[in-house]
Amino acid sequence: MKHAPTDKHSTQPSLSQHLFEAVRLSRPSEKNIAKLLATVLNLSESAVYKKLKGENVLTLEEAATLAQFFQISLDNFLLPTNAAVPMAFYPLSGQVSSPTSFLERLLNNVEMANQLTDAHLHYATTEIPIFHYLHFPELTAFKLFVWGRTTWELDEQHVETLPEDLAIDPAINHLRERILEGYHRLNSTEFWSLHLLENTLSQIQYFAEENIFRDHSFPVLLLEQISQLLGLQKSMAKNAVKHHIGKPPSKNAGAFLLFHNEIAHTNNTFLLTSREGSSVFSTFDNPNFLQTSEPAFVEYTKKWFGKLQKRSTSLTHGAERQRVRFFSKLEQRMKQG
């Protein structure tokens, strides 16, 4: 029986190759992929090596096992259109059950990023960057409380998440500090707008008026911490390096390049690049996010960030006039609000 010509797809990887490459990208720190695959597929390592070399192909059941175990979508391999972009959205597989479960997932992503070679984070946002809240237990607690009420609806699940309690929760503060340290080690290029404070300031005002705080001085403390955060952000932009409040940068501190995005509207969009591969994260139902490593979409996002940088104003290194003006406007917003 003659087969149809396959020249059109001769340069396309096989399903086995596609899956093995996706596994490598999902586990960049794994030193023995063959051993891991042997465990997952319940095969000998020699049998796995033959599959890795292309001598034997994966069965349909084996391909399904790998896709399910490593959370790999086969859509971009199987679907005929380049417009289809497979994305992971974790709330579909399990809602956030507590603030700690969200922070644990965020920590896992940050730790994986720090294991990559030459990792670099591009980050566009119109509100205070999620990692920057983590400098303060109370500000972190307040945002977790807000997301618990609005996005995760934890109050309807009878999970109490009042900000005063979250601020002194040992588990939350342990995760907060670890995530912050991981973010500090990453090199990042970030794009902010002058609307940076509006969302959080409005939330503080709303919940203060709703008398949600047991301690009536808590909202005042949150505003003081945002003012301190502006000073830290200005310092990091001036020196182009990440650090804690009142402390010099550590030896492994990541670079911090900041741009003022004046005209492009965006939600929270992250592009993580490395030698091993790249991924895009975009918030939907904030702070939940969509994630994809689909090559065409990653390439599109890289070009999008390139266009964004061309149309943005640098606030780092010698851009003192632009930097002072940017943060002065944010400080003025604090006084008004």
At 97 the pLDDT is 86
Answer yes or no: do 141 and 223 share one domain: yes
Alpha carbons 124 and 40: distance in angstroms, whole number: 37
- Please say whether the beta carbons of 124 and 266 come within 8 A: yes
Tokens of 27: 């586990």
223 lies in some domain: yes
177 and 29 within one domain: no
Residue 72 pLDDT: 78
Q: Going residue by residue through the chain, which has 337 residues, state the pLDDT in tens, using 9 for 90 and above.
A: 444 443 434 445 688 887 888 887 777 667 788 899 999 999 999 999 999 888 888 998 998 898 888 877 776 677 655 667 778 888 887 778 899 999 999 999 999 999 999 999 999 999 999 999 999 999 999 999 999 999 998 888 888 789 999 999 999 999 999 999 999 999 999 999 999 999 999 999 999 999 999 999 999 999 999 999 999 999 999 999 999 999 999 999 999 999 999 988 788 999 999 988 899 999 998 899 899 888 889 999 999 999 999 999 999 988 999 999 999 999 999 887 6
Instruction: Assess if residue 82 is contained within a domain.
Output: no
Distances, alpha carbon 325 to alpha carbons 50, 61, 145, 264, 276, in Å: 62, 60, 32, 19, 39
pTM of the entire predicted model: 0.79
Instruction: Specify the number of domains making up the chain.
Output: 2
Dihedral Cα 173, 176, 177, 182, nearest 10 deg: 160
CA dist 119 and 139 (Å) reads 28
Domain assignment present for 265: yes
DSSP codes, 101-147:
HHHHHHHHHHHHHHHSTT-EEEEEESS--TTGGGG-HHHHHHHHHHH
Judge if 137 and 14 occupy the same domain. Answer: no
Phi, psi of 189 (to 5 degrees): -120, 120
For residues 101 and 56, state if they share a domain. Answer: no
The per-residue pLDDT for 308 is 96
| CATH code at position 49 | 1.10.260
Whole-number pLDDT of residue 144 = 96
Specify the pLDDT at position 306. Answer: 96
- Residue 248 covered by a domain: yes
Please give the Cα distance from 154 to 150 (Å, whole number): 9
Do strands 279-283 and 313-314 pair parallel, antiparallel, or not at all (unpaired)? unpaired
> What's the pLDDT at 29?
65
**Residue after which a domain boundary falls, among 47, 72, 97:** 72
Please check whether residues 93 and 148 belong to one and the same domain.
Answer: yes
The verdict on residue 66 lying in a domain is yes
Last residue of a domain, one of 72, 105, 127: 72
Q: Look at residue 289 and tell me if it is in a domain.
A: yes
pLDDT value at residue 7: 40
One domain, residues 140 and 266? yes
Q: Indicate if 145 and 182 belong to the same structural domain.
A: yes
> In this structure, is residue 81 part of a structural domain?
no
Backbone torsions φ then ψ of 52, nearest 5 degrees: -65, -35
What pLDDT is attached to residue 9?
41
295: CB partners within 8 A, 6+ apart:
76
Do residues 39 and 136 both lie within one domain?
Answer: no
Contact 85, 292 (CB under 8 A): yes
Tell me whether residue 21 is in a domain. Answer: yes
289 and 145 inside one domain: yes
Inter-residue contact 167 to 95 (CB < 8 Å): no
Q: In the prediction, which pLDDT does 85 show?
A: 79
Convert 6-18 to b/e letters by CB count within 10 Å (16 or more is b). Answer: eeeeeeeeebbeb
Q: Are 168 and 314 contained in the same domain?
A: yes
Enclosing domain of residue 111: 89-336
**215 and 186 belong to one structural domain:** yes
Among 20, 37, 72, the domain-final residue is 72
pLDDT in tens, 28-58: 667 788 899 999 999 999 999 999 888 888 9
238 and 146 part of one domain:
yes
